[in-house]
Amino acid sequence: MGWEEELEELRRREELAEQLGGPERVKRQHDGGRLTIRERLDKLVDPGSFHELGKIAGTAGYDERNDLRAFTPSNFVFGRARLDGRPVVVGGDDFTVRGGSADATIREKHLMCEQMANELRLPLIRLVEGSGGGGSVKTIETTGRANVPAVAGWEWVVANLGTVPRVALGLGSVAGLGAAHLAAAHYSVMVKELSALFVAGPPVVERLGQKLTKNELGGWEIQLRAGAVDDAVDTEEEAFARTRRFLSYLPSSIDDLPPRGPRDDDPARREAWLLDAVPRDPRKPYKMRAIVEAVVDQGSFFEIAPLYGGPVITGLARLHGWPVALMAGDPFFYGGTWTADACQKVERFVDLAQTFHLPVVHLVDCPGFLIGLEAERTGTIKQGVRAMSAIWQTTVPWCAVIVRNAFGVAGAAHRNGGRYCTRYAWPSGRWGSLPLEGGIEAAYRAELDAAPDPKAKLAEIEERLTKLRSPFRSAETFWIEEIVDPRDTRPLLCDFANLAAPLRRPGPSFHQMRP
């Protein structure tokens, strides 16, 4: 006698698991414009590659003969899969079963998902909806007791942030532990009309006297501008596409090196318009993103957190196929001065580069830290010191191109000052302790007050100092190593990427990334 009877029972339970929370709840999920977890997995990973673990784990009911009467699967589905041919671990909440809350959660599945990614050194993708296996008020009634708060297995989440790429997609309303999983990622995405993120949702917040819709409380614009989430897209399919693209720049773990991409763009390409990209008037802004696109491999720039920390642009790109971490000043936001949130953005981005062995390219335009009451209220100097410390802790190859401004303490943070940095400056480069425009009146107050025509005297002093701060004067004393034609920037950066490639070293960093 064989084991056909048991295999038939196994198939029956698997079929029950595939029904998720039942036809009515699946319909409600679709009516809300959202895919089910199994539909999401089908669209995210390579066809036929998903290998599920714990499929028949759940809550079962038995009759008086101990035969299966009813079965509700666990509300978390996970397993191994391939993404563009590459092995990954993927796990997602099933909102059709008790809204993804703790009542229907088998915590060991969440724990094993994280452990598997860590031990097998595979990228981890979390599809989050609901509370992510977190608590519910009803849990008190179903368990008959109140639990002392604890998050089993969070140590693995922390470990994974310093070990494997961790991507989180918020695919509905996300709160509590689900919100924590969404925030604890190297890259996180929301779907604009479907997703919301909160510490606690509108019904709970209303008890504070704040009656808000889910979008007013935790919609994508709020969370992107706050820096809680990196990106937002229009559809779930776009979120899956962004996930695949983000991971294409990174290694599978810190024990590997980022893979080289296609080399379809000529590394010697020179863009003629770069010669006029920066206006002569230092008060006029210019489009830094256009410069970024011009110097990296065509179409390779993948921006991260575009609505957060506006004075600094951050993203991944390729140079002659080599992936790099690129940041650049944006003069359209506070003239490029580093605000408190821009400093936090820099710290987090530099940690990402250091963790996964990505060389850093910095297109510099920073007139210094933001000054004034807002700067003091937001603790800009404290956040600035954290960003500077993160930069000084890097050991990855670093290339800085001073496009325009590099002033003050923040300007000094254009590189790790304790290590060698490949550095270039455009003829438009300006640097010093502080910009002349903000310091002449204070430094030459007595001379200006004594002048018969203070305006003419101010213009005279400014002209004199402008000549003294010429980048060529700096080059005479080796304060700047090389002034270059802006049109040569791409060839020079590609040279840097090729030189940096053999210097990358796999393994853990002494300074691991935090959320």
- The tokens describing 510, both together, are 């002494």
Distances in Å between the Cα of 444 and the Cα atoms of 160, 434, 449, 455, 466 are: 55, 14, 9, 12, 15
Alpha carbons 461 and 470: distance in angstroms, whole number: 15
3-state secondary structure of 21: coil
Alpha carbons 257 and 111: distance in angstroms, whole number: 27
pLDDT of residue 463: 77
For every residue of 33-63, DSSP letters joined together read: T---HHHHHHHHSPTT--EEESTT-EEEEE-
Is residue 485 a contact partner of residue 278, using CB atoms and an 8 Å limit?
no
Distances in Å between the Cα of 256 and the Cα atoms of 116, 163, 250, 462, 506 are: 17, 10, 9, 53, 5
Q: What are phi and psi of 260, to 5 degrees?
A: -80, 140
Alpha carbons 60 and 70: distance in angstroms, whole number: 6
3-state secondary structure of 308: coil
Least Cα distance to 274 among 201, 204, 363, 341 occurs for 363
Distances in Å between the Cα of 468 and the Cα atoms of 149, 203, 344, 473 are: 63, 63, 34, 7
> How many Cβ atoms from other residues are within 10 Å of residue 292's Cβ?
20
* Helix H or strand E encompassing 364: strand 360-366
pLDDT, tens digit, 9 for 90 and up, residues 241-258: 999 999 999 999 999 999
pLDDT of residue 461: 78
Is residue 187 a contact partner of residue 163, using CB atoms and an 8 Å limit?
no
Please state which CATH number belongs to domain 272-433+470-503.
3.90.226.10
Length of the chain: 515
- The tokens describing 474, both together, are 């700096």
- Report CA Rg, the chain: 27
CATH number belonging to the domain at 4-248, selected among 3.40.50.2000, 3.90.226.10, 3.40.50.10490, 3.90.1150.10: 3.90.226.10
Q: Spell out the alpha helix ranges (H) of 91-213.
A: 107-120, 138-143, 154-161, 177-183, 202-205
pLDDT, tens digit, 9 for 90 and up, residues 214-239: 998 999 999 999 999 999 999 999 99
- The tokens describing 132, both together, are 């992510």
Block residue for tokens 């079965």: 71
- For the chain, where do the domains classified as CATH 3.90.226.10 start and end? 4-248, 272-433+470-503
Q: Which amino acid is at 4?
A: E
Alpha carbons 233 and 284: distance in angstroms, whole number: 32
For every residue of 398-424, DSSP letters joined together read: EEEEEEEEEEHHHHHTTS-TTS--EEE
Residues of the chain under the 50 pLDDT cut: none
3-state secondary structure of 433: coil
Distances in Å between the Cα of 56 and the Cα atoms of 37, 41, 53, 126, 355 are: 15, 17, 9, 20, 37
3-state secondary structure of 187: strand
Alpha carbons 178 and 261: distance in angstroms, whole number: 33
- The tokens describing 266, both together, are 């000529």
N-to-C CA span, the chain: 55
For every residue of 77-106, DSSP letters joined together read: EEEEEEETTEEEEEEEE-TTTGGG-GGG--
